[in-house]
Amino acid sequence: MENYPNLRGDYSDMAPDYTISQDWDRYTVEEHARWRMLYARQAKLLKRYAAQEFIDGTAALDAGDGIPDLEIASARLAAKTGWRLVAVPGLIPETDFFAHLERRQFPVTNWIRGADEIDYLVEPDIFHDFFGHVPLLFNPVFADYMQLYGEKGAEANRLGTSKILVRLYWYMVEFGLIRTGDGLKAYGAGMLSSAAETRFSIKDNSPNRLCFDLKRVMRTRYRIDDFQETYFVLDSFEQLFEATHRDFAPLYELVQRQPEITPDQIVAGDRVITLGDGSWKQRRAAA
Ligand SMILES: C[C@H](O)[C@H](O)[C@H]1CNc2nc(N)[nH]c(=O)c2N1
Ligand SMILES: N[C@@H](Cc1ccccc1)C(=O)O
Ligand SMILES: [Fe+2]
């Protein structure tokens, strides 16, 4: 939460676990129309840019007609993988976020982005949380991964070390790519809720696209205020699940002792080489 420049949302009447009632009836006609526009535009990009598992989950949700009622969507999701949706006023502290995932509950922000930030916004809104994250919760492997992630999160919080785990979430849940027989596809929620970053992450030749390597992901800092400089590519969701389950804890000690690297750097043996003109650092410093 401390990273985000301006927290929005009404946190006044929420429960201790940050949940609120969605009050689906209070959305305006204009907000529903904005949802339909966002949805129609992004749905057009899925065939070319999104992983099939994501497309399947979107079809199961069938939420194109307007801002979804979370209780209805939650019942449909629970029947499939046991995940439920809860409404929250916006970004919530990592401890609470992980605790929800550990209980197979996904927090969904209750407000929708403004007309002036349709292509990209820094904070998660209901379009990002619902359209971006919920479809893959219909996929059994990813559904289990997200709960495992929550369990690791609770453990990391007890160790006071969630920074490294958040990188894993950031790169592999928010901005992950996957290699398929039909080429490179996006599955990360952070890309697939942003039309601009969806295209950028697959088509643009400026970002690095690296094979998934858990240790490198754990060491690499990320941006919260712009498209990513580096995307990691999975061979399968099972690969992510197995690596996290088996290697996160043992690697954790090692990574703690190594210097962190920025996305425009690569590690060759014991050397760290900065790619490009190092502009990432200036931009980062400016951010
Ligand atoms: C996992 C990591 O802590 C991540 O930044 C969390 C923090 N809090 C959040 N809070 C909400 N409501 N939604 C999110 O996606 C996140 N992401
Ligand atoms: N940038 C995403 C929203 C997002 C916020 C925070 C983390 C990841 C993604 C969008 O425009 O839809
Ligand atoms: Fe997200």
* DSSP conformational letter for 273: E
Looking at the domain assignment, is residue 238 inside a domain? yes
Q: What are the φ and ψ backbone dihedral angles of 80, each rounded to 5 degrees?
A: -90, -55
Identify whether 14 is part of a domain.
no
- The residue type of 205 is N
Residue 116 lies in a domain: yes
Residue 282 lies inside a defined structural domain of this protein: yes
Bridge partner residues of 179 (DSSP): 184
Q: Considering its fold, how many domains does the chain have in total?
A: 1
pLDDT at residue 228 in the model: 94
Tell me, what's the ipTM? 0.95
Answer yes or no: 100 catalytic.
Answer: no
- 7: in domain: no
Count of residues making up the chain: 287
- pTM for the structure as a whole: 0.90
Please choose from 11, 85, 91 the residue to mutate so as to test ligand 1's pocket, defined by most ligand atoms within 8 A of CB.
Answer: 91
* Sign of the Cα pseudo-torsion (232, 234, 240, 242, in order): negative
Q: From the alpha carbon of 124, which atom of ligand 2 is closest?
A: 5
* Domain limits for position 183: 24-286
Question: Residues whose CB is under 5 A from ligand 3 (ion)?
Answer: 124, 189
174 is catalytic: yes
| pLDDT score for 287 | 39
Report how far residue 108's alpha carbon sits from residue 114's, in angstroms, rounded to the nearest whole number. 17
- The two structure tokens encoding residue 239: 């690969």
Residue 81 within any structural domain of the chain:
yes
- Confirm or reject: Cβ of 193 under 6 Å from ligand 2: yes
Task: Tell me, letter by letter, the H, E, C secondary structure of 77-137.
Answer: HHHHHCCEEEEECCCCCHHHHHHHHHCCEEEEECCCCCHHHCCCCCCCCHHHHHHHHHHHH
> How much is the pLDDT for 282?
53
Could you tell me if residue 9 is left (phi over 0), alpha (psi between -120 and 50 degrees) or otherwise beta? left
- b/e per residue 209-237 (b: at least 16 CB within 10 A): ebebebbbbbbbbbbeeebbbbbbebeeb
Ligand 1 centroid distance, CA of 271 (Å):
33
If you search the block for the tokens 């009404």, which residue do you land on? Answer: 10
Q: Whole-angstrom Cα distance, residue 24 to residue 63?
A: 14
Does residue 267 lie within any of the structural domains? yes
Atom of ligand 1 nearest to the CA of 93: 8
Check which CATH number belongs to the domain holding 202 and give it. 1.10.800.10
Stretch (H or E) spanning 274: strand 271-274
- Say yes or no: CB of residue 128 within 6 Å of ligand 2: yes
pLDDT average per 10 residues of sequence, the chain (287 residues): 66 92 97 98 97 97 97 97 97 90 97 94 94 97 94 79 86 97 97 96 94 93 90 96 88 79 71 64 47
**Residue 30 falls inside a structural domain:** yes
